[in-house]
Structure 1
Amino acid sequence: MATSKHFAASSFAVEMDSITVATFSEVSGLQSELETMTWEEGGNNEFVHILPVRTKWSNITLKRGVADHALWQWYLASVQGTVQRRGMSITLYSFTAKGQSFESLRWNIKNAFPIKWVGPSLRAGSAEMAFESIELSHQGLAQISGGA
C-alpha cells in the first residue's frame, strides 16, 4: 500500500528573480482552472462533448508585515505605466526529525506583476502588527517536487 506525504503550510519562502525578497506570512491564489466548451454532436443524444479551451490562472496574493517600501514601489511602477514582470518561486519547506529544513515543493511563477496593493489597517491603541498585501497577475505556474 502506498504511503502519502503531507506537508505543513507554515514554512515557505518567496523568491523574485532568484533572490529571496521577504518573509511573507501568507500566500494565496495558487490555483489553475481549465476552461472548457461544449459541443453537441448531431445525431448523438447520449452525451455532450466537453473540450478544453485554455488555462485560467488565478491571481496570487502575498501578505506580510510592513517592513519597507519595496512592494509599494513595485506596484507604483505598474500604476505609472512601467510594468515590471518578474519570475517568482514559492518554496514550501519541511523538516527532518533533527529539525533540518528541506525543500518539499516549489511553484515557479512566470512573468508576475502587481495589480493591487493593500496597506495596513491602523487602529489607535492596538498592539497588532501592521500588514500589507500585494496581488499579482501572472502567465502561469509550474509545480516542482523537492527532495521529499
Structure 2
Amino acid sequence: MRGLTGVSAIASGVLGVSLNPYMPYNFLVELDGLITGGFMEVSGLECDITLESYEEGGQNDYVHQFPTRITYPNLVLSKGLTDVWTLWNWFDEARQGMIRRRNGTIMLLDHQRLPVRWWNFNDAYPVKWAGPQFNSSAQEVAVERIELVHRGITMPLESKTLANDRKEFNQSLAVSESVVNLGGRVIRNY
C-alpha cells in the first residue's frame, strides 16, 4: 500500500473511520418535519463572513480585518416535476403576500442511506420559482426549481457528534469481529 490509499486503509482498519469522501448525490431535503425527497440538486448551502478593513496609522505591513456580519445566499432546490403541488402552492401563497416561513434540513447520506451530516436552515420562504424548460427533442426529466431566502444555516450538535458515534461504533465492531488464530485454527468473535 502506498500513499493516501495506504493511509485510508490503515485509518479504516485501525481507527474505524473512513477517509473516503461522501458522494453528493445521496441526500434528502426535509421541510417542517416532512421528508420531501426527490430533489435532484441543492445549491447555495454556504455562508460568508463579511469583513471590514481598518488601516491603522503607522502600520504599513497589513490591514486589520474585522468580522461584521454573516451572509447567506439563497438556497435553490431542484426536483423532478410531479403531480405533487407543494412547492408551487408555497410559492403561490408567497406571491399573493401570504409569507409562510418554514424551517428545513438538508441531510447528506452514506451508501446505506443513513444520515452522516446535516444542515438546518431557518425561517425560509420562496422568492423564485422556475418551471421546466421545454424542448421536443430532449429526453430528460422536467425539472422545477424553487429559490428560498432564509435566516441562516446551522450544523446541529447531533450532526457533529454523529461522526464521533459512528467512529466509536465502527471501532467496537472491528474489535468484536476480530480474528484470532490459535495454532492454525481461526476463531472469529461476533
Same fold (TM over 0.5): yes
Q: AA paired with 1:20?
A: I
Counterpart amino acid of residue 48 in structure 1? V
2:99 alignment counterpart: 83
Query: One-letter code of the match for 1:44?
Result: Q
1:42–1:120: structure 2 CA closer, same or farther, 3 Å change rule? same
Scaled by the length of structure 2, the TM-score of the pair is: 0.70
> Which residue is 1:58 aligned to?
73
Deviation at 1:129, TM superposition (A): 1.5
Higher relative contact order (CA 8 A, sep 6+): 1
Distance in structure 2 (CA, Å) of the matches to 1:123 and 1:45: 59
Q: CA deviation at 1:21?
A: 1.7
Which residue matches 2:86? 70
* Alpha-carbon displacement from aligned partner over 1:80-108 (angstroms, at most 9, x marks no partner): 1111110000101002xxxx332111011
Which residue number corresponds to residue 93 of structure 1?
109
> Which position in structure 2 is the counterpart of 1:48?
63
Unaligned runs of 5+ in 2: 1-6, 12-18, 167-190
- Flag the structure with higher strand content: 1
> What's the CA shift for 1:18?
1.1
> Paired residues, what number?
144
What is the TM-score when the length of structure 1 is the normalising length?
0.89
Counterpart check, 1:35 vs 2:50: yes
| SS at structure 1 position matched to 2:71 | strand
- Structure number with greater Rg is 2
Aligned position for 1:10? 25
User: Percent identical across equivalent pairs?
Assistant: 33
Contact 2:79/2:145 (8 A) holds in 1:
yes
2:119 pairs with one of 100, 104, 107: 107
Once residues 37 and 124 of structure 1 are traced to their aligned partners in structure 2, the CA distance between those partners, rounded to angstroms, is 51
Which amino acid in the other structure matches residue 118 of structure 1? A
What do the CA deviations read for 1:96-131 (whole angstroms, capped 9, x no partner)? xxxx33211101111111110000111235432211
Residue 151 of structure 2 is matched in structure 1 by 139
